[in-house]
Structure 1
Amino acid sequence: MPELIVPTVRLHTAWLKAHTEWGSGQHEDGFGLGQSDEVESPVGFAAWVARLTGEADPAKAAGTGQAGCTYRWIVERDQVLGGIALRHGDSDHVRWAGHLGYGIRPSARRRGLATWAVGRMLDEARVRGMDRLLVVCALDNAASMKTIERCGGIFEGTRDTPFGPARRYWIEL
């Protein structure tokens, strides 16, 4: 049975296996991995995990000028299957990337994990007092479109983003 967990240094090796499976240059939404993050070494990985967990704290996020973000990893038997992020607020980044971002490693796809994880994060959004979420996906990502629609997403239209044109959906909570 999968579970959503707070990012942890305990799963460094497992996370690296998932990261390797995506391959070089692949986009892994939901993990908050930036170009400057160094995750190969234990020290770099620990710094990255600390940044991720710190972004969930509204007081720490406010000090950075960021709206904040709650990250969770999708884990089963100490294997990292994917990641999901709930972005807080209404920043420029949220306006083009959406409130939710997620990714499932290739070997774990087609199991309903994304739909399951989005449903859990909708509960987290309700707890945070959010009443409406923007969710965005690439025009050609049929699996993500189905996930968003299964979770109540209503198609708004398409817009350009820094990664190309994307489909935009709203989920009312």
Structure 2
Amino acid sequence: MTDHPRAEPALIAPTTRLHHAWLAARDDWGPGVHEDGFGLHPSDEVDSPPGFAAWVARLTDVPGSVCRWIVEGDRVLGGIALRLGPADHVRVFGHIGYGIRPSARGRGLATWALGRMLVEAGSLGLTEVLLVCEDHNTASVKTIERNGGTFDGVQSTDLGPLRRYLITLR
């Protein structure tokens, strides 16, 4: 058996070309709408090509957000989204949300993707970014701290306690 070199990870705009790859990533997570960074809503129908195309079109045309998929070759490994508004949504969920499919975790992909999205946030004029994660999500805490996150407290929400971090952009 020959090992094939792994493709370099990349951040790309959502695309209908990767419909089957995205479905494989979703199936890796299991049922539910919990893939942070994908902007998936319970009402989104993504199994059919037309439904998937409508969802991708919505993602690429959302004012106040930048959605990217984390890919290697033709594999979708996760998603990351930069939210610029509305302010009340950002206050609760932060400027950036991300998620890595379970089978691709532990490789530093979230840290890598967050670093690149922070560059994009700076290029859009942000000087400080709020990131929020579940209180018990130690992997996300490490990802945020590796990118310069400073702990800013815990907030109580309907989703449970959420840790807040601020990252100052240079």
Is TM > 0.5 for Structure 1 vs Structure 2? Answer: yes
Structure 1 stretches of 4+ with a deviation exceeding 4 A read none
Q: Deviations over 1:28-83 (max 9, x none)?
A: 1000001111000000000000000001xxxxx2xxxxxx2100000001000000
**Which whole-Å CA distance do the structure 2 matches of 1:70 and 1:170 have between them?**
19
Give the letter for the 2:35 counterpart: E
Give the letter for the 2:154 counterpart: T
Q: Partner residue of 2:34?
A: 27
Deviation at 1:165, TM superposition (A): 0.8
Q: What is the root-mean-square deviation of aligned Cα atoms in Å?
A: 0.9
Q: Unpaired segments of 5 or more residues in structure 2?
A: 1-7
Q: Unpaired segments of 5 or more residues in structure 1?
A: 56-60, 62-67
**Which whole-Å CA distance do the structure 1 matches of 2:13 and 2:32 have between them?**
25
Q: Match of 1:3, SS?
A: strand
**Which whole-Å CA distance do the structure 2 matches of 1:90 and 1:50 have between them?**
20
Q: Partner residue of 1:118?
A: 114
Q: Which of 17, 27, 37 is the aligned partner of 2:24?
A: 17
The TM-score, its normalising length taken from structure 2, stands at: 0.93
> How many residues matched?
162
**Which whole-Å CA distance do the structure 1 matches of 2:147 and 2:19 have between them?**
30
The TM-score, its normalising length taken from structure 1, stands at: 0.91
Q: Deviations over 1:104-150 (max 9, x none)?
A: 00000000000000000011001100110000000110000000000
Q: Which of 75, 90, 96 is the aligned partner of 1:79?
A: 75
- Matched ranges for 1:77-156 at <5 A: 77-156=73-152
User: More helix by proportion, 1 or 2?
Assistant: 1
Q: CA contact under 8 A between 1:31 and 1:71: conserved in structure 2?
A: yes
User: Does the alignment pair 1:69 with 2:69?
Assistant: no
**Which whole-Å CA distance do the structure 1 matches of 2:61 and 2:127 have between them?**
23
